[in-house]
Chains A and B, each alone.
Chain A
Amino acid sequence: MLLRTLTELNGTSGVEKEIRQALRQEIEPFVDSIMIDKIGNLIVQKNRSEQGPKIMLAAHMDEVALMITDLTADGLLKFHPVGGIDSRILVSKPVKINSLVGVIGAKAIHLQKPQERQQALKIDQLYIDIGAKTKEEAEKQVKLGDYAYFLTKTEPLGEGYLKGKAFDDRVGCYVLSEIFKKDYSLNLVGAYTVQEEVGLRGAKVAAYHVQPDFAIVLEGTIAADMIHLEEHEWVTELGKGPALSIMDHTTLYNPKLIEQVAQLAKNNEIPLQFRRGNSGGNDAGKIHLSREGIPTIAISVPCRYIHSTASIISEDDVKNTISLIDLILHSIPENFTF
C-alpha cells in the first residue's frame, strides 16, 4: 500500500531522496513528463498541450526529524530538530540513523530529584544512545549531519484509522499521486516539494518556474479534538472530512475560492470542515505570492499528534480528500473559477 510505503520511508528537509525515488517509480506510468528541479522538487506533468489554465497540485515530501550535531567522548550523539518538534515527546523513543537503531536517552525516573520530575527535559539535555562506548566507536557508524528518524510502522488502528509517522505530508503526496492516476482534460502539474518544514522553500522555487494559474496545496494538518481541549481549540476533527484552510500564519485564503469549494462539497455530499485557528503555515504561503500572485487553496487530511513519533488519521478522511480534489478538478472551468 502506497501510503504505508511512503510513511515508513525516511526523508527530512533537504534529504528527500528516498521519498522522491519511491514517488517517481509510482507515478511514472501515469504522467507525460517528469523532472527534478535544482532544489530537489519532483515535478510531474500531464496534458501539457491542453488548452486552458495550468493547475498545480503541491504536497511536500519532507518530514520532521533530528540532525546529529555532536558526538560526545563517551559515544553518545547530540542532536538538533529539523522542523518543529516538541522536545517533551522525545525521551526514550527508538530512532533510526542510517541503518542503525538508537534510543533517545535521559536520566531514569529513579535518579531524578522531585524538582527535576516537574520539568520537561530540553533538547540539550537529551542524547541518542547507539550502544557505542567511545567517540571513535560512534564515529565508525555515524557522522555529523546524519539524521535520526522515528521508528514507527504504519498500521491500522480501531475501525478505519491508521497510525504512523510522517503523515504530514506523505498523506498529501499520496493524495496527489492518486489524483494523477486519474484522467482529466486539464493541464496538470504535480509538485512534490522539498523543505516545507523549514520554511516552505521548495514550493517557492516550484511555483516560480511552474507558473500555474491556480494551485491546490495538499497537506496533513493538526487535529486537536482531544478531551483536555475545548471545542474552539480543536482546529480540525478526525473523521469529519477534508479540512479547507481559511487562514494561517502564511496565507489569508481567498473568500471566493473558499465559498466555491464549500458549495461544491455541499452539493455533492462530501463532508468538509474548515481548518480553524491561525496557527502554522504551508506551501500556499509561498505559492500564492509567487510572481504576480497565484490563486491558491489548501486542503488537508486531519492528523492527531502531528510532528510526533506516531500520529493518527482517518481512512475516510483520506478517501474524501481524494473525492473532493477530483470533484474540484472536474468542475474546472464551468463550475469552479479562480
Chain B
Amino acid sequence: MPLDQNPLDYLLLKRLTQTFGPSGVEDQVSTLIEEQIRPYCDELYKDKLGNLIALRRGSGKKIMVAAHMDEIGVMITHIDEKGFLRFSPIGGVHIQELPHRRIQFKSGLVGVIGVEKLEKPTDLKGDKLYIDIGTSSREESERLIRIGESAVFTGSYEETEHQILSKAMDDRVGCFVAIEAMKRLQTNHEVSFVFTVQEEVGLRGAQTAAFALEPDLAIAIDVTMTGDTPKAHTMEVRLGHGAAIKVIDRSMITPPMIKKWMAQTAEDHKIPYQWEVLEFGGTDSGAIHLTKGGIPAGVLSIPTRYVHSPSETVDRRDVEATVRLLVALLENPVEL
C-alpha cells in the first residue's frame, strides 16, 4: 500500500527517540519495540547480548535487517564528597560540546554537565567535566545513582514542515524504518529483523547476532552525515534527496552487486536515492560482512545533520523513501 494511504506512525518515532537507551542498557527501547512488532513476526526473542530478534519465516533468501537500539551517553565513574559525579563517554561523544548540556538517567533524574575553571579553552578535556545532580553530599548522590550507571543526553522531539529533530535519531530512526517496513512487508523471504545493541561502542551486538543467524545477506539501517550545511565537510549527501545507499565507510566497502541491487530496485520503484561515501565511522554491516565465511551486506542510510548531538535532524521524505526502498528490496526476488 502506498505511503500516502498508509502514513508512517511518527508518534512512534517520537517515543523511540525519547526512550532511554545508552549502549549496554537498551532494555527500555527493546521493550517498546517488542510491543510494536509482536503482531508482525513469527518469532520474537532476545539473545545473550540483548539483541532483539524478530523472525518472519519464509522459503526464499535468509535476509538479516539490522538497526541499532543504542545511543551515545556517559557512564558514572566517581562520586565526590560534595555529591558531584565524574563520568566516561560511551560511544563517539564530542567532549568540546558537553559543557552545560543536560543528561538524564534511567530513573528520569536529570543532571547538568559543569566544567572546572580552565586556564585556556584547549584545556577542556573529559576529566575537567563533572555532572551536577543537585545534591550536596556523596551520601545524597549515592541514594540516587551508583557508579557504573549510565545516562543519555536530552534533546526533545520537534517537527518542522519537512524536518524532524531530536536526540537519538541515531539510530532510532533506523529502528523506526525497520518497524514500519515490517508492518507493510509481504514476502517469501525469511527475514530476521535484528534490533542490535552496542553499535556505538564497536558494532558489538551485530557481530554476535550475525554469527547466530548466518544469513545469506544483510542490510543495516542507520543514519549518515550530510554535506549540505554552510561550509560543511565535503560530502555528497543532502537532506531531502532520498534514501542513501552506502558505498563505503571505515568499517566496510559495499560489494558492487549489493549496490547495483539496491540502486536498480530504487529506480524500478521510482524511489529517490543518493550515493553515500562516508569518510568517518561505520555501522553494523561492518561487523556482519566479516562474520563466518563472509556475508554480503549493504547499508541504507537516512541522511542526518548534526549526528551525535541533541538535535540530530532528518527529513521525513528521506525516512519515507528509506521505508519504501527497504520494503521493495525485501519483497522482490533477490538474484545476486
**B204 closest partner in A (C-beta):** A289
List of A residues within 8 angstroms of B47 by Cβ? 292-293
Beta-carbon contact of B208 and A231 below 8 Å = no
Minimum Cβ distance to chain A for residue B206 (Å): 10
B86 to A246, Cβ gap below 8 A?
no
A16 to B149, CA, bound (A): 38
> Digit string of A270-298 for contact with B (CB within 8 Å is 1, else 0)?
00001011100000000011011111000
> Which residues in window 32-50 of B have CB below 8 A to A?
47-49
A232 on the interface (CB 8 Å rule)? yes
A258 with B88, Cβ < 8 A, contacts A232-B77, A276-B77, A276-B78 known:
no
Contacts of A278 in B (CB 8 A): 75, 77, 88-89
Residues A246 and B148 in contact in the complex (CB < 8 Å), given A232-B86, A233-B127, A278-B88: yes
Q: Which of B198, B208, B209 is the one whose CB lies under 8 Å from A252?
A: B198
* A to B contact number (C-beta, < 8 Å): 67
List residues of B (129-162) whose CB comes within 8 Å of A's CBs: 147-149
B86 to chain A, nearest CB (A): 4
Closest Cβ neighbor of A295 among chain B residues:
B48
**In the complex with contacts A232-B77, A247-B88, A252-B23 CB distance below 8 A:** yes
B25 within 8 A of A: yes
Tally chain A residues at the interface, Cβ within 8 Å.
23
A-facing mask of B50-94, CB < 8 A → 1, else 0?
000000000000000000000000010110100000101110000
| B77, A277: Cβ atoms closer than 8 Å | yes
In the complex, the answer to whether B23 meets A292 with C-beta atoms within 8 Å is no
**Interface set, chain B 191-219, CB cutoff 8 A to A:** 198, 201-202, 204, 207-209, 211-212
Which residue of chain B is the closest to A255 with respect to CB atoms?
B25
B49 nearest CB neighbor, chain A only: A293
Q: Does B24 contact A (CB under 8 A)?
A: yes
B25: chain A residues within 8 A (beta carbon) = 255
Could you tell me the distance in whole angstroms from the C-beta of A242 to the nearest C-beta in chain B? 15
**Any chain B CB within 8 A of the CB of A141?**
no
Picked from B23, B90, B147, the residue with its CB within 8 Å of the CB of A276 is: B147
Residue of A nearest to B208 (CB): A293
Q: Which residues of A contact B149 (CB under 8 A)?
A: 255
Query: Which residues of chain A are near B198, meaning CB under 8 Å?
Result: 252
- A254 an interface residue at 8 Å Cβ cutoff? yes
> Distance (Å) between the CB of B295 and the closest chain A CB?
15
Cβ–Cβ < 8 Å partners of A254 in chain B? 24
Q: How far is the CA of A252 from the CA of B198 in the complex (A)?
A: 8
Shortest 7 CB-CB distances between A and B: which pairs? A252-B24, A246-B148, A293-B208, A276-B77, A278-B88, A232-B86, A293-B48
Instruction: List residues of chain A with CB under 8 Å of any chain B CB.
Output: 230-233, 246-247, 250, 252-255, 258, 274, 276-278, 288-289, 291-295
**15 pairs from A and B in contact (CB 8 Å cutoff):** A246-B77, A247-B75, A247-B90, A250-B202, A255-B25, A255-B148, A255-B149, A258-B148, A274-B147, A276-B86, A278-B77, A278-B89, A289-B204, A289-B208, A293-B47
